[in-house]
Structure 1
Amino acid sequence: MKILVINPGSTSTKIGVFEDKSPIIEETIRHDKTELSKFNTVIEQLDYRKFAILDLLEQKGVSLNELDAVIGRGGIVKPIEAGTYIVNEALINDLKVYSKEQEHPSTLGGLIAYEIANAIGKPAFIADPVCVDEFEEIARISGLKEIRRKSLLHALNVRASMYKYAESEGKNVNDLNLIVAHLGGGITVAAIKKGRIVDVNNANEGGPFSPERTGSLPSIDVVNMSYSGKYTRSDLLRLFTKEGGVYSYLGTNNIKEVIERVKNGDKVAKEVFDAMCYQIAKEIGGMATVLKGDVEAIIITGGIAYNEEVIQEITKRVSFIAKVVSYPGEFEMEALAFAALRVLKREEDAKIYT
């Protein structure tokens, strides 16, 4: 089975051609910022990016007729179950509608996949977008009736880690209870119950602080800041999601740099580093209670997981719960390819977006 994978970023588009689970081609198309600035919206970039992909495939000698399917990274739509979805008219419409409210380049993944696949009569898919929502109802209650907890997470990498672990153990994902901590610019810790993500912190709104996000904050202090007259709404959003966390204390969001500062005797850097690991461990502990202590493994993934010092510090605090497994980095391209492959091989059914 030959699968084309499309993963649009803000100034680049990653593409891959996979033969079953083996990558034949993996390339990153860099888009000129001047060219992108000509478009008023992300949606308007569709043809520009699509033709860049088609040109590259032609240069690499890949015929579209060789493909069995095309899969794109899923954009923001309404909350949906995890899984692989056929790109249909309802999904196309919602990708466009939701993009007006919250623009993100991943919106183009499904749209470009559909246009390329439709031209050759093959299926187009998306898989595990950030809006995956499998919360149990109890997890939605926030403590204030006007606010409900939302499921927003790096579902693609969280579920890729779940599948990677299941394969390594020779087990079915639907039999597993896991905790997956995705450590990147934002940090999400997910409780997985029999293959479903039943609870997770939204990295933009709560949970542990990260290299650049504040995570959970004392609500009264946030109210006081909001009405102090010192900050606009956009100022606070920037502070909480781009200039918070480690950056707020140390002026950098580079964890490697922080670790070097710790090794060189920087006491403030050590305090902040230890506190970040402490908060991650505390969130993992909380998710263990969601699963009533029935946890087979704790998986740590994402870019920060390349730093062994982080793994060690977290493991000290959580190894009593379950074994700790590290899968450093992100697996977006292979996760998308494998999601399409499971459907093509009829190991899973494709889901229908309605």
Structure 2
Amino acid sequence: MKTLVVNCGSSSMKFALLDPASGAVALSGLAERLGGAGASVRVDREDGRVTVPLPNGSYPEAFGVLLAELDRLNARAEVQAVGHRVVHGGEQFSAASLLSPEVLKAIQACVPLAPLHNPANLEGIAAAQAAFCDVPHVAVFDTAFHQTMPEVAYRYAVPEAWYREHGVRRYGFHGTSHAYVAGEAARVLGQPLEELNLVTAHLGNGCSVAAIAGGRSVDTSMGLTPLEGLVMGTRSGDVDPGLHDYLAREAGLSLTELTAALNRESGLKGLSGLTNDMRELEEAAGQGHAGARLAVQVFVYRLAKLIAGMAVALGRLDGLVFTGGIGENSAAVRSATLARLAVLGFTVDDGANAAAVRGQSGVISASGSVSTLVVNTNEEWMIARETAELVARGL
């Protein structure tokens, strides 16, 4: 019996059918560019990868491809439970939860906090519940892992009423990934997770770092929304909030236009004027493109600053973990970041670092350095495990 994991993003849908105990994957795929032109589903089959076009580019259409693939494998009956990634659960959810009308209502109430993601999550849930009405469905929240943060870490210095009446606080995201790689890092280091103080860096198109003490999140870089913190692919990360008023007056931009630009036209893309893809930026920087070089440098500088800041939350730093598309594959970003962190005792093993790409992982720190690892994240397996555990307990 297997768990189906559905992970709907603002314009994508990842899915996997896997054994929650072993992580063995029977089926996986990724639908991209949903809601726009050129939408398609990439399916990894036993005989290779195939791409299925989606003329309408909708979530239900993408889910139809998933069902067809399950039927092709005669695997629909093997689905024991469905686990859904949900980006924002507010303060209400500190763990995964069986989906019920009340839980769905709470997810809907968090839409203003994640307007690009929670509606997509709800679309995926609706499609899956219609197709699998006789099995349990579980919501696994990005924000849940960070609900262990102390008040000193999650409160903003804003009027109390904003927090009490509107939930204005820091929530954090990528919790499933941070939790998974922390556990894997402890396994690789051969130490109990409960005895380790780690900083985990999830670096992809969205980026965040987290301070994890004994397996519990005590701080993280993202905040009320996934916009706060590091420089990301198209997101600005931290900016002076005064720029909203300034650009409204000087450039005539509306709040909606400003928010859209900070989310979709900023970050690596905005700095470089070229792309949000780190691979392309590293290549362009090597060819002398000034904007690409600046984008990479700012990304690394801000990353090193925030990693160093997370050490304050921990008191003692036992290890640093890189994960995500950039974290797992850019040896140059890792090397440059560790060079800036030399003040904290980090040094890199150049050979190990260069080898840790394209699915290879492991320790990349030199002898005598604070332990530094590359760990390949596996959010789908983590979601499947949490789903299976919750269903087994009957909660």
TM-score when normalising by structure 2: 0.74
- Give the Å deviation of 1:137: 0.5
Aligned-pair distance for 1:198?
2.0
2:138 corresponding residue in structure 1: 125
Report if the CA contact (8 A) 2:87-2:141 is conserved: no
Task: Indicate if the aligned counterparts of 1:75 and 1:104 stay in contact, CA closer than 8 A.
Answer: no
Partner Cα separation in structure 1 for residue 333 and residue 158 of structure 2: 34
Residues 133-177 of structure 1 show CA distances to partners (whole Å, capped at 9, x for unaligned) of 332111133233266432131222222212322333344444432
1:62 aligns with 2:75: yes
> Whole-Å Cα distance in 1 between the matches of residues 186 and 129 of structure 2?
30
Counterparts in 2 of 1:222-241, with a 5 A limit? 222-241=244-263
Is 2:279 the counterpart of 1:256?
yes
**CA spacing shift, 1:302–1:342, aligned 2, 3 Å:** same
2:153 pairs, out of 136, 139, 148, with 139
- Return the match for 1:153 from 155, 173, 176: 173
Post-superposition Cα deviations, 1:81-119, rounded to whole Å, max 9, x if no partner, equal: 553322233213323444588353222444455555541
Give 1:311 deviation, angstroms. 0.7
- Structure 2 unaligned blocks of 5 or more: 32-40, 42-52, 163-167, 347-369
Does the alignment pair 1:327 with 2:356? Answer: no
CA RMSD of aligned residues (A): 3.0
Aligned partners of 1:35 and 1:257: how far apart in 2? 27
1:15–1:254 distance in 2 versus 1, CA, 3 Å: closer
Question: Deviation at 1:342?
Answer: 4.5
Deviation at 1:268, TM superposition (A): 4.4
1:52-75 Cα deviation digits (max 9, x unpaired):
5433312211142x3332212225
Residue number in structure 2 paired with 1:279 = 302
For residue 311 of structure 1, what is the aligned residue in structure 2? Answer: 334
CA distance in 2: counterparts of 1:282 and 1:291, whole angstroms: 15
Tell me: CA distance 1:84–1:141, structure 2 relative to 1, closer, same or farther (3 Å). closer
Q: In the TM superposition, what is the alpha-carbon distance from 1:264 to its structure 2 partner? A: 1.9
Name the counterpart of 1:15. 15
Identity of aligned residues (%): 21
Question: CA offsets per residue over residues 29-81 of structure 1, 9 Å max, x none?
Answer: 63735263xxxxxxxx66x66655433312211142x3332212225333345
SS of the equivalent of 1:104 reads helix
Q: Distance in 2 between matches of 1:35 and 1:266?
A: 35
Cα shift at 1:284: 0.5
Distance 2:12 2:283 in 1: 31
Residues 15 and 28 in structure 1, CA contact (< 8 A), matched pair in contact too: yes
Query: Which residue pairs with 1:88 in the alignment?
Result: 100
Query: Counterpart of 1:144 in 2: which secondary structure?
Result: coil
CA distance in 2, matches of 1:100, 1:283: 27
Q: CA deviation at 1:250?
A: 1.6
Gaps of 5+ in 1: 37-44
How many residues end up aligned between the 2 structures?
Answer: 334
Structure 1 residue corresponding to 2:211, chosen from 191, 206, 227: 191
Tell me the amino acid that sits aligned with residue 84 of structure 2.
G
Q: Cα deviation per residue 1:309-342 (whole Å; 9 max; x = unaligned)?
A: 00111111235263221235x5232222233344
Q: Are the counterparts in 2 of residues 92 and 110 from structure 1 also a CA contact under 8 Å?
A: no
Letter in structure 2 aligned against 1:163: G
Q: What TM-score, normalized by structure 1, do the two folds share?
A: 0.81
What do residues 118-138 of structure 1 show as CA deviations (whole Å, max 9, x unaligned)?
41xx43222233465332111
1:160-175 → structure 2 map (5 Å cutoff): 160-175=180-195
Match of 1:339 among 381, 386, 390: 386
Assess if the C-alpha contact under 8 Å between 2:90 and 2:143 holds in 1.
no
Does the residue aligned with 2:15 lie in a helix, a strand or coil? strand
